[in-house]
Each structure stands twice: as C-alpha cells, then as structure tokens.
Amino acid sequence: MTDTVSPLAGKRLEPSMLVDVAALTKAYYDRPDPAARAQQVAFGTSGHRGSAFAKSFNEAHILAIAQAVCLYRRQQGVDGPLFLGIDTHALSRNAFESVLEVFAANGVVTMIDEKLGFTPTPVISHAILTYNRGRSSGLADGVVISPSHNPPADGGLKYNPPHGGPADTDATGWIEKQANAFLAEDLAGISRIPYEKALKNADVRRYDYISGYVADLANVVDMEAIARAGVAIGIDPLGGAGLDYYQPIIERYGLNATIVSKEIDPTFGFMTADWDGKIRMDCSSPYAMASLIGMRDKFDVAFANDTDADRHGIVTRSSGLMNPNHYLAAASAYLFTNRPGWRADAAIGKTAVSSAIIDRVAAKLGRKLVEVPVGFKWFVDGLLSGSFGFAGEESAGASFLRMDGTVWTTDKDGIILGLLAAEITAKTGSDPGALYGKLTAELGDPRYARVDAPATASQKAVLKNLTAEQITTRELGGQSIEAILSKAPGNGAAIGGVKVTAADGWFAARPSGTEEVYKIYAESFRDEAHLARIQEDARRIVGEAFAAAG
C-alpha cells in the first residue's frame, strides 16, 4: 500500500458507492479494441484479470481464452477432463457461461459443480491431482474463473495444467498470444454453442466437488484433534466460494465452529473498505478484515479467505490479525515438528520478498530453505515431489503436504491454512500469534512493510533488469551490504527486480505489472526507525539506478 490511507478504510460504503452490477453485466458484452494494449488478453502471475468497464474483461476475451486453452490442450496432448471452478464475483457467472459454450463445442469433457455452485481454487487443484494420481495418460487439467481478492468490478481467469498448480509463462504466453490472435480476427475460428445447449451436452458433467475435498481433509490437517479440543473457531468466507464448504466441514468433523457471515452479494456491500477506500476481499488487510478482527475475543482462533479461497487471514486472541509473514513462520515451525511422515529432507519454500524470520525458522529446524521469485508457480514441482513440505508467499498464500508426505495441492489453499491455525491451537494450547511471539523471543522480532512508489514505464523496465553491477552503494541502513540479488538463490530464476541485504535488514524492489508504480518490500530486525532508514535507502538506490539509465 502507499503511505496514504483513505478515511473510508475499515468502514462499509454507502450503497451509492457500490458497483452497479446491471451496468457491469451489460458492459461484459461490449467488444474490446484488439489494437489497444490495455484491452488485450494479458496473463500475469494469476491469469488474465480486468474489468468490463475498462474493456479488459469481456465476453470476447473469455471466448478467445477458452478456445486458446482448447488448442493448447490438444498441442500438449491433454485429453482428460477439465475441472472448472468459479468464484462469487459478478462477472464470474457470465464468464463461466462463455467458457462452457466453447469447451462443449470443442468436445472438452468439463467437470462442473453438481449444483452449479461455486468452487474454490484449491478444490480445483485437489481435484486435478486426485484424478491424475497413478495416471500417465488421459490427464486432467483445470480452469478457475476468479480475480482472487480484486474489487467487485473485476473478473479473472486462470489455467492450471495437469500438475494442478498455476501455469508457467510458457503456457500462459502461448495461450495469451493465441487469444489475442482470435481477438484481432474478430473471433473467427472460435467454436461455441448456446449455453443452455452446452449444459445438456454429454461432455459437460456434474461433479461433487464438496464431498471429495471435505472427506480428504483429515489426511492433511488433524481434524480429530481440533474437534476433541473443542477449539472455538470463527470462519468468515468474505462472501466467497468457500462458503458452501464450511458447513459440510463443520458437520463431518464435529467442529465447534461458527460461520460468522453467510452473505453472498456481487456488490460485496457487506465488506469494509480496504486502505484506499475500495472494496477488496483481501484477508490480509486489517481494513478489509475489520469485522472479523472485531470478533477476536469471541473465538479461540478465527480465519477468513478471499473469494476463491486460495488466501488466508488468521485472527487470534493474542495478536489480532496476523501479518501473513508471521503466520508463515509460525506454520512452518509447527508443521515441521508435527509431521513425522514428511521426508527428512523436505524443505521450506518462500518467495524472495517474504520475511527473513522464515529463514531463521528454517535454520532452527535444520531444514533447507528454498527462496524463489514471486509467484506460486515456483513451488509446484517441490510440492508435487514432496521435496517442499511447506511453501508460502507474503501475500497470504500457502500450501503444505499431506500427513504422509505426498502432495495435497500445488496451488494456494486458504482453507487448510485456516484449519491449521485451529490445529495449532488444539495441540499446543496456544494460538498461532502466541507461537509467533515465542519464535521472535528466540530468533528476533522483525519489522516488515511494503510500500508503493511512482515509476514510469521506462523506469519499471530499468528496475526489472537491474543487476548488482549497476548498484554502487555499499551500505544499507547503516550496515555493509552483504548481497545484491537479481536472481532468486533457490532456483536461479530472475526476481524481476533487485534484493539487497545487510546483517539486520533487507529490501527488495520490483515493478508492478499493472500500475505505474514499483513496490518496495523492506524488513528490519532492529526497530521501526531502522526500517524507515532502509526504506529511505531503497528509494535512493532505485532512484540512482533510474538516473543512471537516463
């Protein structure tokens, strides 16, 4: 976030300020200009996202992407079923219909929720992996229609290949290029049939997503321990796709849990506004999570998910809403001492911009730490092979292995991360906030922040390609610089920016993929004043790089 917080932050918006769903739905059928860059298909780290109002998420985009996915599947020899999920954003249902029209016309066996309900991202990943287990041919893949925690006017679509996780840039680049070619040709070459006909097509099959996922949870989280301890749990799906899953979970495992809000409303008017006064279902934001935070004393532990339930927000009695980095550290420390079925060499995966407290936890545990660039796709292979026991990123997304050390999901799973908070409380007698407090007493108490700073397109390009040789400064926060990284040490892949470290702190700077800003992540193991000094040095170092580039 920036340094400026809106006066609307943490408050419910007036009805007049909410998205006009009727107008948004009408705009979905407007045609984008294929020659305008901002109106083309663009796959980021989590698929294609945009808004119908901006002509960046419209029927034409979705038809083109769906046809491109069909062609990509044929090219890759993927001929098993495609598991299709959607979240509760207003445009998701329209996009679902568009996708199904194309998939049915192309003969793709498509698995949709048996009641045409909502399906979270981790459930799709779980379904893909469950189906593909033991198979070498006829493999399944999936599509999730969701812009994650983005504002109500946005839409999104992401593709998960047979490995069950986010597609890599080779796949998304191919799909993006082909989809834009369809847009440029006024959708020529796209096969589709009417939605009502598609629903009755033999290749479109109803599937019970809920039962399979819920029944399997006992193999990844100690549900019996949670029930036996009677942990009082508060759950807020934030009006998202996880809502239909929590009551079956509560009933199957006999949990002492309360779903604190069951509202589903495409305007998300029940949400409190985020830091900038916009509605955003960001379960790591104290402003968006104001309602659940206000209930912290009613429960032993509480948690929320974003709209596709791939992110988690943990609220504890001891510390309120946990910073995502803090929970990743606490979860890592707990899991690796409570999962005897995991491989002795199973590592902890983290992104380059996640807290260094995780590094210290790994050292304490004697576990290997693998640091990768931003994006959950970098964790897929490690989770699939069992070589990563736990993998997480600072934006509150993580997953971990089953009890027996085999893969659970290769995409983020906010549901199991929430239930894990209850398991920690049940088995240790302390909530995750208290566990984190014990860790910092031993390993140091870091101060972490992310802020945005303005940058032009040319400056963002400079930052993306910045190298250690271009940085002449030798100090950070009053300490000698120990390392300057442009590639992640865990896999040698480009960070897409730079990371500078010293003994008691570090910063990383990366350009935004969607806005004219760059992001500064910084951390100090001293105090707030030292953190501010690191942030100041970070701005100066990046500014010098911009100036040198002209």
pLDDT in tens, 298-349: 999 999 999 999 999 999 999 999 999 999 999 999 999 999 999 999 999 9
DSSP line for 393-418: ETTTEEEE--TTSS-S-SS--HHHHH
CA distance 143 to 108: 12
The mean-pLDDT minimum among 33-47, 310-324, 342-356, 523-537 falls in 33-47
Quick one: pLDDT at residue 227?
98
Q: Which amino acid is at 481?
A: I
**Residues identified as active-site:** 148
Per-residue pLDDT averaged across 454-466, rounded? 92
CA separation for the pair 345, 76 (Å, rounded): 33
The answer, yes or no, to whether residue 46 has pLDDT greater than 80, is no
534, 539, 545, 547: CA torsion to nearest 10: -140
Please, which residues bridge with residue 313 across strands?
A: 304
> Stretch 510-518: mean pLDDT, rounded?
81
Check pLDDT > 80 for residue 515.
no
Closest CA to 260 of 224, 323, 305: 305
Asked whether residue 1 carries a pLDDT value surpassing 70, the answer given is: no
pTM of the model: 0.96
Burial class (CB in 10 A: 0-12, 13-18, 19+), 192: buried
Q: Is 75 exposed, middle or buried (0-12, 13-18, 19+ CB in 10 A)?
A: exposed
Percentage of the chain lying above the pLDDT 90 cut = 94
Residue 514: pLDDT band (50, 70, 90) is low
Buried b (16+ CB within 10 A) or exposed e, 223-242: bebbbebebbbbbbbbbbbb
Tokens representing 290 are 């104001």
pLDDT class of 2 with cuts at 50, 70, 90: low
309/237 Cα distance (integer angstroms):
8
User: Please, which residues have CB within 8 angstroms of residue 299's CB and are 6 or more apart in sequence?
Assistant: 232, 233, 234, 258, 315, 317
Interatomic CA distance for residues 516 and 491, integer angstroms: 28
C-beta neighbour count of 260 within 10 angstroms = 17
